[in-house]
Amino acid sequence: MSAYLDHAATTPMLPEAARVLTEQLACTGNPSSLHASGRAARRTVEEARERFAAALGARPSEVLWTSGGTEADNLAVKGLFWARRTQDPRRRRLLVSAVEHHAVLDPAFWMTEHAGAELVLLPVDRDGVLEVDALRAELEEHGDAAALISVMWANNEVGALQPLDQVVALAARYGVPVHADAVQAVGHVPVDFAASGLDALTVSGHKVGGPGGAGALLARRGLDLTPVQHGGGQERGVRSGTLDAALLAAFATAVDVAVGARAEQSVRVAALRDELVEAVRRIDPSAVLRGPADGARRLPGNAHLTFPGCEGDSLLYLLDSAGVEASTGSACQAGVPRPSHVLLAMGLTEDEARGALRFTFGHTSTRADVAALVAALPAVLDRARAAGLVGAGRSASRGPVA
């Protein structure tokens, strides 16, 4: 029995999106061309834009197509900062939650090194939820120097939903634009761009049952964004590059379908999540659920657990060999496994953070996936802990190293 429990990384394409993609791949035409084929491609792009916007409570003119979530996040962080800095040189502070995806964190750090930005990492609590009082204190002291705030809608590792309504309300007092990476949220929790009060919002295709290589940044009308890449002047002159009509049509279809099925699917996957957590705790009472304990305050399909005495990488590989695919949530830089920055920001020690596994559900998930994990996990935990003890013993036997 095998199981795919890594839908937060990428989820299988929805049949409706795959059908649209296949149909559109047979069509020829550059959406920027003026002949008949070009106009047909342009019509496909604009119909996709309208469908996409309608599903997310936005206007079609607020949709900027990108190649994915990473590009959209880069455009938001860099484009907003440069635009604000041009308007007011005092606006140098980037306020970013400490648990953001690297697609937000890395551009923010880059801006400190190359564009004179001052990065402020906003703290989170033990559940991975933004400390709103810290944001309030920062704005009270440096509100006139803030260029933008970026706080994700839902955390990609521990599934914590963030208090964006409070963030937006605070930011409005100081005239600071707010961006949210909603890559993990769309199709899983209600997302309405207009109602949110956000200035910019990121969406990615392959997270919602669409194709890879397609994404979007929703940017409210009148929001100044400095382009990050230059060329043909597509997408209101903000994001140059030839648009792929087939990918965008499939992307819009996936978002429309996922949003339409969200209410029913969220209840179904939340039940699977709860079943998994309960089963894991029976197998290993020392396992700790990370993120909010209240299911209403986390993504419905996310179960992030830490297993004392285990290395997450060992658990991952052992589960994989047993036919269960999950994620550690940790970054691997230069070939060296490192504890998750999200868990460290939540106050976990490095040892606690190393034993992490993330299980995430999606539209193809069933109870059989939970059963496969339950069948494999006891032996996997025994082997992982035995390996950890052997490794610790070898390290101790070497003695101090000069």
Asked whether the predicted pLDDT for residue 314 surpasses 60, the reply is yes
> Distance between CA atoms of 178 and 158, rounded to whole angstroms?
22
> Distance between CA atoms of 350 and 102, rounded to whole angstroms?
19
Reading the block at residue 73, the tokens are 């996040």
> Lowest-pLDDT range, 109-123, 267-281, 331-345?
331-345
Residues 270 and 376 in one domain: yes
Q: In this structure, are residues 238 and 218 in contact, taking their beta carbons and an 8 Å threshold?
A: no
Q: Final residue of a domain: which of 199, 228, 260?
A: 260
Q: What is the pLDDT of residue 402?
A: 32
Residues 272 and 293 in one domain: yes
Q: Is residue 400 part of a domain?
A: no
Domain count, the chain: 2
Q: Is residue 308 part of a domain?
A: yes
Q: What is the pLDDT of residue 161?
A: 98
Asked whether the predicted pLDDT for residue 360 surpasses 80, the reply is yes
Q: Domain containing 334: what range?
A: 3-9+262-390
Q: Where does residue 320 rank: exposed (0-12), middle (13-18), buried (19+ CB within 10 A)? A: middle
* Percent of the chain topping pLDDT 90: 92
What is the average pLDDT across 301-320? 96
Give the residue from 55, 51, 113 showing the smallest Cα distance to 81: 113
Residues 299 and 335 in one domain: yes
Q: Final residue of a domain: which of 232, 260, 288?
A: 260
pLDDT tens string 17-43: 999 999 999 999 999 999 999 999 999
HSE-CB of 127 using CA atoms within 13 angstroms: 16
Asked whether the predicted pLDDT for residue 331 surpasses 60, the reply is no
Q: Final residue of a domain: which of 210, 234, 260?
A: 260
Asked whether the predicted pLDDT for residue 395 surpasses 70, the reply is no
Q: What is the pLDDT of residue 1?
A: 60
Asked whether the predicted pLDDT for residue 333 surpasses 70, the reply is no
The one-letter code for the residue type at 400 is P
Q: What is the pLDDT of residue 145?
A: 97
Reading the block at residue 163, the tokens are 């208090």
> 174 pLDDT band (50/70/90 cuts)?
very high
Reading the block at residue 62, the tokens are 């607020």
Q: What is the pLDDT of residue 329?
A: 75
Q: What is the pLDDT of residue 2?
A: 85
Asked whether the predicted pLDDT for residue 390 surpasses 70, the reply is no
Residues 169 and 70 in one domain: yes
Q: Is residue 379 part of a domain?
A: yes
What's the pTM?
0.94
> Distance between CA atoms of 178 and 192, rounded to whole angstroms?
15
Residues 291 and 161 in one domain: no
Q: Is residue 309 part of a domain?
A: yes
Write the CATH number for 180: 3.40.640.10
> 364 pLDDT band (50/70/90 cuts)?
very high
Q: What is the pLDDT of residue 387?
A: 83
Nearest-5° angle of CA 372, CA 375, CA 380?
A: 105
Average pLDDT of the chain, as a whole number: 94
Residues 235 and 309 in one domain: no
pLDDT tens string 38-74: 999 999 999 999 999 999 999 999 999 999 999 999 9
What is the average pLDDT across 80-104? 97
Residues 201 and 311 in one domain: no
Q: Is residue 399 part of a domain?
A: no
Phi-psi category of residue 335: left, alpha or beta, with phi > 0 → left and psi -120 to 50 → alpha: left
Sequence-separated (6 or more) residues with CB below 8 Å from residue 218: 53, 56, 58, 62, 63, 64, 193, 198, 200, 201, 202, 203
Q: Is residue 128 part of a domain?
A: yes
Residues 247 and 206 in one domain: yes
> Lowest-pLDDT range, 36-40, 129-133, 391-395, 396-400?
396-400
Write the CATH number for 300: 3.90.1150.10
What is the average pLDDT across 291-312? 96
> 336 pLDDT band (50/70/90 cuts)?
low
Q: Which residues are identified as catalytic?
A: 332
Which H, E and C letters describe the chain, residue by residue?
CCEECECCCCCCCCHHHHHHHHHHHCCCCCCCCCCHHHHHHHHHHHHHHHHHHHHCCCCHHHEEEECCHHHHHHHHHHHHHHHHHHHCCCCCEEEEECCCCHHHHHHHHHHHHHCCCEEEEECECCCCCECHHHHHHHHHHHHHHEEEEECCCECCCCCEECCHHHHHHHHHHHCCCEEEECCCCCCCCCCCHHHHCCCEEEEEHHHCCCCCCCEEEEECCCCCCCCCCCCCCCCCCCCCCCCCHHHHHHHHHHHHHHHHCHHHHHHHHHHHHHHHHHHHHHHCCCCEEECCCCHHHECCCEEEEECCCCCHHHHHHHHHHCCEECECCCCEECCEECCCHHHHHCCCCHHHHHCEEEEECCCCCCHHHHHHHHHHHHHHHHHHHHHHHHHHHHHHHHCCCC
pLDDT tens string 114-138: 999 999 999 999 999 999 999 999 9
> 398 pLDDT band (50/70/90 cuts)?
very low
Reading the block at residue 296, the tokens are 């209403």
Residues 147 and 160 in one domain: yes
Residues 254 and 282 in one domain: no
Q: In this structure, are residues 340 and 245 in contact, taking their beta carbons and an 8 Å threshold?
A: no
Q: Is residue 396 part of a domain?
A: no
Residues 153 and 29 in one domain: yes
Residues 251 and 268 in one domain: no
Q: Is residue 108 part of a domain?
A: yes
